[in-house]
Structure 1
Amino acid sequence: MPFHIYPAIDLKGGKVVRLAEGDMDRATIYGDDPAAQATAFTRAGATHLHVVDLDGAFAGGSVNGAAVEAIVRTFPGKVQVGGGIRTRASIDRWITLGVDRVVIGTAALEDPDLVREAAGALPGRIIVAVDARDGMVATRGWADISTVSVADMAKRFADAGVAALLFTDVGRDGLLKGCNVEATVALARETDIPVIASGGVADIRDIEALVAASGAGIEGVITGRALYDGRLDLGEALRLAA
Structure 2
Amino acid sequence: MIIPAIDLIKGEVVRLHQGKFNLKRKYLYEPLFYIQKCLKEGAKKIHIVDLDGAKNPNKKQINLLKEISKYQIPSIQIGGGIRSQKDIDLIFDLIPNAQIILGSSIIKDFKNVQKWFNLYNPHSIILALDIKFNKNYEKIIFINGWQNKSNMIFEDIIEKFLNIGLKYVLCTDISRDGTFLGPNINLYTEIVKKYPEIFFQASGGISTLQDILNLKNSGVKNIIIGRAFLEKKFTIKEANLCWQKE
The separation in 2 between residues aligned to 1:162 and 1:232, in whole angstroms, is 32
> CA shift at 1:69, angstroms?
2.5
Residue 233 of structure 1 aligns to which amino acid in structure 2? Answer: T
The corresponding residue for 2:56 is: 59
The corresponding residue for 2:141 is: 137
Q: What are the residue-to-residue correspondences of 1:62-211 with 2, within 5 Å?
A: 63-98=60-95, 100-123=98-121, 124-134=123-133, 135-191=139-195, 192-211=197-216
> CA shift at 1:222, angstroms?
0.4
> CA shift at 1:60, angstroms?
2.1
Q: Is the 8 A contact 2:102 2:128 kept in 1?
A: yes
Residue 115 of structure 1 aligns to which amino acid in structure 2? Answer: V
Is 1:27 the counterpart of 2:43? The answer is: no
Structure 2: unaligned runs, 5 residues or longer: 134-138
SS at match of 1:175: coil
Q: How many pairs align? A: 236
Residue 44 of structure 2 aligns to which amino acid in structure 1? Answer: T
Task: Give the TM-score of the pair, scaled to structure 2.
Answer: 0.91
The corresponding residue for 1:230 is: 232
Structure 1: unaligned runs, 5 residues or longer: none
> CA shift at 1:32, angstroms?
4.3
Task: Give the TM-score of the pair, scaled to structure 1.
Answer: 0.92
The separation in 2 between residues aligned to 1:61 and 1:154, in whole angstroms, is 28
Q: Is the 8 A contact 1:62 1:85 kept in 2?
A: no
Which of 32, 38, 41 matches 1:41?
A: 38
Residue 71 of structure 2 aligns to which amino acid in structure 1? Answer: T
